[in-house]
Amino acid sequence: KYKKLDKLIKKNDVISFDLFDTLIYRSCSKSRDVYQILDFYIKNHLKLKIDLYSLRTESESFLHKLYPSFYSIDQIYQEIKKRTNLPANIINKIKKEEKRIEYCLATPNKQMISYFKLAKNLNKKVIITTDFYMDKKFLITILNKCKLYGYKNIFVSSELKKSKSNREIYLY
């Protein structure tokens, strides 16, 4: 599947890797499983009687229509706050728990890590790009957890307001 990557890495000076589902996997079957875990948390630990799974997916879908690939975790939770009128401290607890779950589930993709290391060993300029809604600082903690060091920069569409899908993020 990846046989041509060796040649592409050797041929190019700048190597860009996507973050989720490329360098890093979540150790669950679907990304929305995170929302199921979060829903369990708020019902059992915060004792809230809301369907957070639906709220979370609907808020993200709504924001995706407004800002394809540009919305952030903060915007998602602002939308949830609008829809629920939950106090800010509860919203912040839920958001913090989502980040904790994402951190715990992040697992390095060993096959792609070998290409990442090849690029670094060949002194290529390695960058990471992602359309993920989390902030750069948090994503760096996940990269550190997965022992991914030595990249030149990480470009996060939700912070840059540029997308991979329309290739605008690559202008950076």
Give the model's confidence band at 170: pLDDT under 50 very low, under 70 low, under 90 confident, else very high: low
**What does DSSP say about strands 153-156 and 24-26: parallel, antiparallel, or unpaired?**
unpaired
Closest CA to 80 of 99, 52, 39, 100: 52
Written as six digits, the tokens of 170 are 């690559």
CA 92 to CA 80: how far, in whole Å?
11
**What does DSSP say about strands 14-18 and 24-26: parallel, antiparallel, or unpaired?**
unpaired
Written as six digits, the tokens of 121 are 């060993």
pTM comes to 0.88
Computed over every residue of the chain, the mean pLDDT equals: 90
